[in-house]
Amino acid sequence: MSKYLVFATVAVPVFMGQASGTAIAVAFPTMVSHFGISLVLAGWILSIYQVTVICSIPIVSRLSDTLGRRSTFLLCLTSFTAGSIFCAFAPNVGLLILARVIQAIGGGGFTSSAVGIINDYYPGERQRYVGLMTAIVPFGAIVGPNIGSVMVHYFSWQSIFWLNVPISVAAFVLVRRLIKADVKKATKSGIDFPSIGLLFGFVATFMVGMTLLDKSYNMSLFAIAGIEAVALLFMIAFVYRCAHSPGAVISMDLLAKRPFMAANAYNFAFGMCAQSGVLSLMPLFASTVYGMSVIEAGFMITPRAIGMIFASIVASIFIMKWGYRRPMLVGSVSMAGGLILMALEPQMMTIMGVDFSPMAIITTFGLIIGIGAGMSAPAANNACIELMPEKIASITGLRQVVRQIGGAMGIAISTLILSSASDMGRGFTIVFMMMGILVLLIIPAIFLMPANPNSESSSTKKAEPAVAA
């Protein structure tokens, strides 16, 4: 019994972190109205979490090895809980964004520290339990919007943060009681803080420049160009650090080689268009363009998550037969088609005498996008791994980082367009059309990646198991 209780104890916070992230997307329109701020500034409520996670993942991973699994997991719980409380109490958007940083430091480390605990407790069944952990995460994307919409509708947007607190406290107590004391495995952290800081500086500075483009700030183009030039310097310094420091957060081999450049470009576009970027604004789209209620907006996100889960499972099962390129091609066309259809903003539609409401139409388009994302993700993940199987952990981490960067920049660009458009409907038309075209433009990168499990590895190497998400 305790064996399954240990797994449940570490799995619940992972689920909670995912559900909380999607619940906030539903509450986003209410937050914008509550604080009376521009969409560009409000976008930081969503994107700052992703930017912080980019930095927290490598730090927490190393701390888990040096400080210990239990201590690191407890620190993550403490940070996530404190951040949630601060978010609920935040009197203005500036303090809310700061609280989201604190929340993300903990939330970004849940998965890596939980996997470390699983590895220690179930060495003979690690693959099984890590697989179960991976399967739990997408369900958070289903449950989160629906619970979040109900909480916001009947209580307030602050309630989605308060909901985290009792769950986190219960998990903290159980971890203290059930997880054995830590055994430190190293004395030096090996964390390359300069490279992490440079990466954070590049993404954050670039997004600040995008924010200041909003007409409400009356910032001169010369000043904004200067800020973006600083972002460019951060990026150049980051690349230099990766090229010359053995302990850099990202190996230069994973940045410079052409197949990796293609894989990184594809994952960047995937994060921006299909995972956590523009689609985080779907509830805002539903409420402002179609006048849907908070509960309807939360439900609208669900089919996309379900489509992604089932398509991901199917693609993972048949990946050895289909190879890598076919699922990515089919998935990319599906994602692009769904986004472009969304840009048309259809109203009532009649097919064969049957009337379809805007809710049914939009959820169908979301399902198409989700199926496309689910088809693409396992192939893209394993194609990256296939390029250099001996660096599977580094490649997986890079995939997460690149997609998070894409998601954060997607939100920044989209909110800027929406804020500058004459009306929200026209703004969303531009955003969805632009993202759909971007997915089509990135398709050539697929042909620079391995075609199948044996195309880039020698016959002596075993194919890695499919990674679903």
Q: Which of 17, 445, 465 is nearest to 262 (CA)?
A: 445
Q: What is the pLDDT of residue 435?
A: 92
The whole-model pTM stands at 0.80
Q: Rounded distance, CA 402 to CA 34, Å?
A: 32
Supply the CATH classification number for the domain 264-469: 1.20.1250.20
**What is the structure's pLDDT at 440?**
93
The residues, any chain, with a CB within 8 Å of residue 439's CB and separated by 6 or more, are: 269, 273, 274, 332, 335, 336, 339
Contact 225, 218 (CB under 8 A): no
* 151, 173, 192, 251 from 279: Cα distances, Å: 21, 35, 32, 30
End-to-end CA distance of the chain: 29
Structure tokens that stand for 376 in this block: 């693409």
Angstrom distance (rounded) from CA 77 to CA 55:
17
Which of 327, 418, 415, 426 has its CA nearest to residue 379?
A: 327
Q: How far is the C-alpha of 22 from the C-alpha of 276, rounded, in Å?
A: 9
Q: What is the pLDDT along the chain (469 residues), one digit of tens a residue?
A: 466 787 888 888 888 888 887 888 888 888 988 888 888 888 888 888 888 888 887 777 777 767 777 888 889 999 999 999 999 999 999 999 999 999 998 887 777 777 777 777 766 665 566 656 666 767 777 788 888 888 888 898 999 999 999 999 998 888 888 877 665 555 555 677 888 888 888 888 988 888 888 777 778 888 889 999 999 999 999 888 888 877 677 777 777 778 888 888 898 898 888 776 777 888 888 888 888 888 888 888 888 888 888 888 888 778 778 888 888 999 999 999 999 998 887 776 666 667 777 788 888 888 999 899 888 887 777 776 666 766 666 676 677 788 888 888 888 888 888 888 878 888 899 999 999 999 999 999 989 888 776 654 433 344 444 444 5
CA distance 35 to 26: 16
pLDDT of residue 442: 92
In this prediction, residue 179 carries a pLDDT of: 78
CA 20 vs. chain centroid, Å, equals 12
1-180 has CATH 3.40.50.300 classification: no
For residue 467, give the H/E element and its range: none
Task: Note the pLDDT tens digit of each residue in 102-154.
Answer: 999 888 777 777 777 777 776 666 556 665 666 676 777 778 888 888 888 88
Domain ranges for the chain: 1-180, 193-248, 264-469
Pair 428, 340: CB distance under 8 Å: no
Number of CB atoms found within 10 A of residue 355's CB: 9
Beta bridge partners of 350: 355
Distance CA 61, CA 74 (A): 14
Whole-number Cα distances in Å, 275 to 146, 303, 354, 387: 18, 14, 32, 23
**Burial of 91 per CB tally in 10 Å (0-12, 13-18, 19+):** exposed
Question: Are the C-beta atoms of 277 and 431 separated by less than 8 Å?
Answer: no
Return the pLDDT at 459: 36
Length of the chain: 469
Alpha-carbon gap, residue 220 to 323, rounded angstroms: 50
